[in-house]
Amino acid sequence: MYIAIAGNIGSGKTTLTEILTNHYGAKAYYEDLDNPYINDFYEDMNRWAFQFQVHFLASRIRQTMDMLSAGNDCVFQDRTIYEDAYIFAGNLHQMGLMASRDFGTYMKLFDISTDMIPKPDLLIYLKASVPTLVKQIRKRGRDYEQNIDIGYLERLNERYNNWIENDYKGEVYIINKDVHDFVENPEILEPLYEKLDAIYGKTLF
């Protein structure tokens, strides 16, 4: 069973990954935050957008290939390769912060890699408004995130919602983080556990 958790910056992906991994005694694959371009990117997005995204893409390809070759029958992944391309790189290109030539090169690498990677058995989307995201970003206190532009988060949210509603072809389970806080109220995850149990019962990863 391959389950992926998707969502904007500060939506709670890592927390939910930890909860689900502990519940199922499964293997977790977390987003690699050790990007050597990350501080430069937040200081000057136009200069470092391509390098920043290519590093994340390469890291995600390696992680997913390792995940597939490990032979675990139940895994949870914190953010997907699809988000790297359709949400973050696509947004930077739309904003004019990544040149069309660079974006074209990036998407060629993405297309090659996704030909080798199966879609998740279920994509869990953590949907959250910008005020909820900002609250969570401030709460976790990562220095490089504290000055994220609100407009940037809004654009990412628009892309996420469009991707989930119109473009993503796999099965999706949505948790509205504005309403449901699974840290304070763990019982809201019970319907998700039921769905995952059904998938796990008939799917061997």
Give the active site residues.
78
pTM of the entire predicted model:
0.88
Q: Which pLDDT belongs to residue 45?
A: 87
Contact at 8 Å (CB) between 14 and 31? yes
Order across the sheet with 27-29: list the strands: 27-29, 75-78, 2-7, 122-127, 172-176
- Quickly count: other Cβ atoms within 10 Å of residue 132's Cβ: 20
Find how far residue 17's CA is from the centre of its chain. 11
Q: Which pLDDT belongs to residue 204?
A: 46
Q: Which pLDDT belongs to residue 42?
A: 81
Q: Which pLDDT belongs to residue 142?
A: 65
Q: Over the Cα atoms of the chain, what is R_g?
A: 17
Q: Which pLDDT belongs to residue 205?
A: 45
pLDDT tens column, 82-126: 999 999 999 999 999 999 999 999 999 999 988 888 889 999 999
Domain residues of the chain, as ranges? Answer: 2-202
Among all chains, which residue has been given the structure tokens 């990544």? 98
Mean pLDDT of 178-199: 94
Contact at 8 Å (CB) between 17 and 30? yes
**Homologous superfamily in CATH for domain 2-202:** P-loop containing nucleotide triphosphate hydrolases (3.40.50.300)
| pLDDT more than 90, % of the chain | 65
Asked whether residue 143 carries a pLDDT value surpassing 70, the answer given is no
Mean pLDDT of 183-202: 92
DSSP state of 6: E
Phi and psi, residue 165, nearest 5°:
-75, -30
Mean pLDDT of 117-137: 92
| pLDDT more than 70, % of the chain | 95
What's the mean per-residue pLDDT of the chain? 89
3-state secondary structure 24-73: HCCEEECCCCCCCCHHHHHHCHHHHHHHHHHHHHHHHHHHHHHHHHHCCC
Tokens of 162: 């469009």
Mean pLDDT of 185-201: 93
Better-scored residue on pLDDT, 25 or 203: 25
Q: Which pLDDT belongs to residue 140?
A: 72
pLDDT tens column, 14-37: 999 999 999 999 989 988 878 899
